[in-house]
Amino acid sequence: MNNIKSYVENNRDRFLSELIDLLKIPSVSADSKHKPDMLKTAEAVKKNLLEAGCDSAEICETPGHPVVYGEKIIDKNLPTVLVYGHYDVQPPDPLDLWNSPPFDPVIKETEIHPEGAIFARGACDDKGQMYMHVKALEYMTKNDALPCNVKFMIEGEEEVGSEHLAWFIENNREKLQNDVILISDTGMIAKDTPSITTGLRGLSYMEVEVTGPNRDLHSGLYGGAVANPINVLSKMIASLQDEDNRITIPGFYDNVKEYSEAERAKMAEAPFDLEEYKKKLDIADVQGEKGYSTLERASIRPTLDVNGIWGGYIGEGAKTVLPSKAYAKISMRLVSDQDWENISELFTKHFESLAPKSVKVKVTTHHGGQAYVTPIDTLEYQAANDAYAEAFGKDPIPQHSGGSIPIVSLFEKELKSKTILMGFGFDTDAIHSPNEHFGIWNYLKGIETIPLFYKHFTKLKQAE
């Protein structure tokens, strides 16, 4: 199976151009005006799967955006790998901060990507990482190197909370039966420091609306006498965190696991340069929960961030208005045993209790997902470990990620199989940000590593 390297080398340009074609379609799931683009992308992924060697592939309707399903069954007695990925992407705004159009992919070299990186929305999250699996399948089928069965479940709602994937899974348990779920939608530490994500944070995404007077008022005639919903909203948001940057919602920390000094020391071994981190973000100082390191704050601790806020006059110049309404999108990252639905309730109850009598408050839940932690003493993790060891020449580091893939915990519950998070992106790839990119080295290294997982997983499974 050594000729995977040469196969990737010989097909390098085609692998890149195929991905670029996929990145040109603006599949923004959050924005209903992109519905046609979502269907177009699903069609393209179905075609890609068939060309890569799937026996069958189909576009499965859901109450929301469709799921693309494909499979290649070579022997019912062999193990089955289920690959999960998503073809939808985050909204590209703010557009003015992109150096090139988000859906007009360009290849540019960067300091940590001397071989070049593809700049486009979705390059890393998740079209690029999803497509590594398609090309890995192509290699295995074209070179008679597929050791087991494979199924693909590529959804279109990951960036909006996988609202209908649970529905899809419940209605397709039989079809989705597998021995392990493989996902590339996370990152790794560095080229010479392979890592596997063993923890993900949960998410609870809320939206709040504060209403003062029933119409916009003149701030001169009413200012000082009538509650201003923006001032009130600011006060309410400010009170959600205390001076130690701890979240003040009663019961919020009840199910948060406290790690032992030994466990924290082990995590602290991951290479991290705080000065470099601050320099890259151009910040004079970091800020977070008192008593925890930056890495801990961004992985094993829960958070509360305002993702968007708006109200009143936001145009050019000045307008002396006391607005009727103010809004904010607020999300919380959750850890260990925090239940996202319970946290959403606690948030709603607390936020409503913060409102003075002078305003009305409406709180709605956008979506959420549970946190996920995978043990590393399993056959599945061992297989992944062996694959990385063979591809990188060293064992990967198990690592907690601060991100969320809301659906992962549901996979285990519904499909009774373990999930392996083989991510090949870097934290600096600017996913969810302007100028998102994915290194060509990372893309090709992923294609090279994935077949090794199939090999080791099948071997270990058969040796059971």
Residues 153-182 that bind a second copy (CB under 8 A): 159-161
Size of the site for a second copy (CB under 8 A): 104
Indicate the DSSP class of residue 16.
H
- CB of 132: closest distance to a second copy in angstroms? 20
Interface pick for a second copy out of 95, 190, 306, 376 (rule CB under 8 A)? 306
Nearer to a second copy (CB atom), residue 322 or residue 452: 322
Indicate the DSSP class of residue 224.
T
Alpha carbon 121 to its chain's center: 13
Pairing of strands 149-155, 67-72: antiparallel
Interface pick for a second copy out of 282, 377, 463, 464 (rule CB under 8 A)? 282
Q: How far is CA 154 from CA 85, 139, 194, 274, 438, in A?
A: 5, 19, 25, 36, 19
Pairing of strands 149-155, 80-86: parallel
- Binding segment (CB under 8 A) for a second copy, from list 47-55, 77-85, 287-295, 416-424: 287-295
Nearer to a second copy (CB atom), residue 53 or residue 434: 434
Contact at 8 Å (CB) between 335 and 190?
no
Say whether residue 403 binds a second copy (CB under 8 A).
yes
Q: What is the dihedral of CA 439, 444, 449, 454, to 10 degrees?
A: 120
Residue 221: count other Cβ atoms within 10 Å of its Cβ.
Answer: 11
Interface pick for a second copy out of 106, 112, 222, 459 (rule CB under 8 A)? 222
Say whether residue 284 binds a second copy (CB under 8 A).
yes
Say whether residue 364 binds a second copy (CB under 8 A).
no
Nearer to a second copy (CB atom), residue 398 or residue 403: 403
Say whether residue 262 binds a second copy (CB under 8 A).
no
Nearer to a second copy (CB atom), residue 18 or residue 296: 296
Contact at 8 Å (CB) between 250 and 205?
no
Nearer to a second copy (CB atom), residue 230 or residue 249: 230
- Binding segment (CB under 8 A) for a second copy, from list 70-78, 147-155, 353-361, 378-386: 353-361
- CB of 62: closest distance to a second copy in angstroms? 17
Those residues with Cβ within 8 angstroms of residue 424's Cβ, 6 or more apart along the chain or in another chain: 129, 132, 184, 187, 188, 442, 443, 445, 446, 449
Say whether residue 264 binds a second copy (CB under 8 A).
no
Say whether residue 408 binds a second copy (CB under 8 A).
no
User: Which parts of 59-118 interact with a second copy (CB under 8 A)?
Assistant: 90-91, 93-94, 97
- CB of 400: closest distance to a second copy in angstroms? 11
Say whether residue 409 binds a second copy (CB under 8 A).
no
- CB of 253: closest distance to a second copy in angstroms? 13
Say whether residue 224 binds a second copy (CB under 8 A).
yes
User: Which parts of 35-64 interact with a second copy (CB under 8 A)?
Assistant: none
- CB of 382: closest distance to a second copy in angstroms? 27
- What span, in angstroms and rounded, lies between the C-alpha atoms of 67 and 60? 5
- What span, in angstroms and rounded, lies between the C-alpha atoms of 67 and 302? 31
Say whether residue 273 binds a second copy (CB under 8 A).
no
Contact at 8 Å (CB) between 368 and 340?
yes
Contact at 8 Å (CB) between 198 and 376?
yes
- CB of 144: closest distance to a second copy in angstroms? 39
- Binding segment (CB under 8 A) for a second copy, from list 18-26, 111-119, 275-283, 453-461: 275-283
- The sheet with strand 202-211 has its strands ordered as 325-334, 202-211, 360-369
Amino acid letter for position 280: K
- CB of 262: closest distance to a second copy in angstroms? 22
- What span, in angstroms and rounded, lies between the C-alpha atoms of 133 and 130? 6
- What separation, in Å, do the N-terminal and C-terminal C-alpha atoms of the chain show? 23
Say whether residue 434 binds a second copy (CB under 8 A).
yes
Contact at 8 Å (CB) between 288 and 302?
no
Say whether residue 128 binds a second copy (CB under 8 A).
no
Say whether residue 398 binds a second copy (CB under 8 A).
no
